[in-house]
Structure 1
Amino acid sequence: MKLIVLWDIDHTLIENAGVSKEIYAAAFSSVTGREPSVPARTEGRTDRLIMRDMFLRDELPVPEWPVIEDALVRAGNDRLGDLRLRGTALPGALEVLKAASARSSWVSSVLTGNIAANAHVKLSAFGLDSLLDLPVGAYGADAELRPDLVAVARERVQRLRGVPADVPAVLVGDTPRDVEAALATGAGIVAVASGLHSPEELAAAGAHEILPDLSDTKSVLSILESFAGHVKRPRTSLDRPRTR
């Protein structure tokens, strides 16, 4: 059965070891000529929101987006070596992406708050980029709010890969914002407690399937397969999250 699988990157597929916040700080400094007063707040936000928040918290005018994006691209490229040295692919990420890419009826891509260039930097640092259909993904420059990225990815999958509009999509991510994006758009959600948020927090956000990480490839694929050909129904009070 056909399926669109959209993976988050940071803390779902990779651990960036603080490099992400260094990228935001460097981009901010490149544009303003000074260090930010406080670190970037991420937690599933898009790059558009993260950077705008940094300027507003420092009481500075928000530059035009192309200026910000150019600075983010430079900062990301400059830190590829740091990411390879300090970061890592998370347990099971390589294996599960290989397995998903082998499913000829699936489209396996990303839905991430990162801009496309930095998403590629992060994935390529650990050899994950070739296992994903990145041109049809949705990225932090495409919209401010994460739920809006789901429609972006769906449109690209339909236009570029000829996938029918009624093919189900499932998000895999580690934050309540990933869960909320799925629930708001009728997509499935597999929550992974490999980031900053506990299984309890992910369940409270509405996640029904919760994994500690992606290390059990067979279990991840089994859950994903359960969404194929399935039109997601609204959750009811009778539903209970399953933590595996």
Structure 2
Amino acid sequence: MLWDIDHTLVSIDGIGKDIYAEAFRLVTGQPMERVAAMAGRTDWAITVETLRMHGVEVSDRLLDSFGVALAEAFVVHEAAISGRGRVLAGVREVLDVLAGRADVIQSVLTGNMEPLAIGKLRAFGLEHFVDFEVGAYGMDHEDRAVLVGMAQKRAAQKYGESFTTHNTVLVGDTPNDILAGHLGGARVVAVATGSSDVRALKEAGADLVLEDLTDTDAVVRAVLVAADG
């Protein structure tokens, strides 16, 4: 089971843009005038587009430097996350129930680079529910769909089982999550806890759509039904 993080598990109240602004300043020495669209995208894609929007030529070396700067900027703003951000309703209860099941492995598939993903969940005491070793992250690849296969491969190597569309479920809040899941080889349970409503998520092709995660039993059923196909 692969969880998206932002607006699916937690909300950090716009701090993400502050982190990007700080990283941009560290790398370029200039103020960031605007940031690329962030919803459902990888840090890799957001970084590349943001730099190009400011007329900065992107290289592998610069991308690596920006990743380091994002991690440093996250540390600067980390204290504000738990104060200004919040765990979304029902999340802790769902994570807890699924963590107690022997037939479920929980990890993350997120646009966040790994240190940010871990830090965001740690800020709210959620980190012990998921296995970060078998997740996939926003600096692993620009294309979010590719991350699905990367997570499946990591889980197969660690747990000695095969993970395919038939037993991989991605939970996210955007049409980009749905597209990534279907292209990458996962079933998708979408939650209308971000900027996309139930109708938009259904039209995007989610296998199941929920208003939110407040009904623990319903969420668990949805995940298991999606996994069974």
Report what 2:189 is aligned to: 190
Spell out structure 1 runs of 4+ moving beyond 6 A: none
| Cα drift, residue 215 of structure 1 | 0.9
| Cα drift, residue 164 of structure 1 | 2.1
Do 1:21 and 1:40's aligned partners in 2 also have CA atoms closer than 8 Å?
Answer: no
Q: Under a length normalisation based on structure 2, what TM-score does the superposition of the two structures give? A: 0.95
Q: For residue 106 of structure 2, give the secondary structure of its aligned residue in structure 1.
A: strand
Q: Distance in 2 between matches of 1:114 and 1:218?
A: 28
Do 1:175 and 1:202's aligned partners in 2 also have CA atoms closer than 8 Å?
Answer: yes
| Cα drift, residue 165 of structure 1 | 3.8
* Selected match of 2:35 from 39, 42, 61: 39
Q: Distance in 1 between matches of 2:112 and 2:141?
A: 11
Say whether residues 1:24 and 2:20 are aligned partners: yes
Do 1:179 and 1:205's aligned partners in 2 also have CA atoms closer than 8 Å?
Answer: yes
User: Would you tell me which structure has more helix in proportion to its own residues?
Assistant: 2
| Cα drift, residue 155 of structure 1 | 0.4
Report what 1:236 is aligned to: none
* Selected match of 1:146 from 132, 144, 147: 144
Report what 1:235 is aligned to: none
* Selected match of 1:15 from 6, 11, 21: 11
Q: For residue 70 of structure 1, give the secondary structure of its aligned residue in structure 2.
A: helix
Say whether residues 1:161 and 2:159 are aligned partners: yes
Q: For residue 105 of structure 2, give the secondary structure of its aligned residue in structure 1.
A: strand
Q: State the one-letter code of the partner of 2:206.
A: A
Report what 2:125 is aligned to: 127
Report what 1:200 is aligned to: 199
Q: Under a length normalisation based on structure 1, what TM-score does the superposition of the two structures give? A: 0.89
Q: Distance in 1 between matches of 2:103 and 2:199?
A: 33
| Cα drift, residue 62 of structure 1 | 1.7
Do 1:93 and 1:214's aligned partners in 2 also have CA atoms closer than 8 Å?
Answer: yes
Greater Cα offset, 162-171 or 214-223: 162-171
Report what 1:239 is aligned to: none
Structure 1: gaps (5+ residues): 233-244
| Cα drift, residue 158 of structure 1 | 0.4
Report what 2:174 is aligned to: 175
Q: State the one-letter code of the partner of 1:90.
A: L
Say whether residues 1:105 and 2:140 are aligned partners: no
Do 1:182 and 1:188's aligned partners in 2 also have CA atoms closer than 8 Å?
Answer: yes
Report what 2:93 is aligned to: 95
Q: For residue 66 of structure 2, give the secondary structure of its aligned residue in structure 1.
A: helix
Aligned alpha-carbon RMSD (Å) = 1.2
Q: State the one-letter code of the partner of 2:111.
A: G
Q: Distance in 2 between matches of 1:191 and 1:47?
A: 21
Structure 2: gaps (5+ residues): none
| Cα drift, residue 163 of structure 1 | 2.1
> Counterparts of 1:213-228 in structure 2 under 5 Å?
213-228=212-227
Do 1:48 and 1:140's aligned partners in 2 also have CA atoms closer than 8 Å?
Answer: yes
The total of aligned residue pairs comes to 226
| Cα drift, residue 187 of structure 1 | 1.1
1:11-34 CA-to-partner distances (Å, cap 9, x unmatched) read 000011001111111111110111
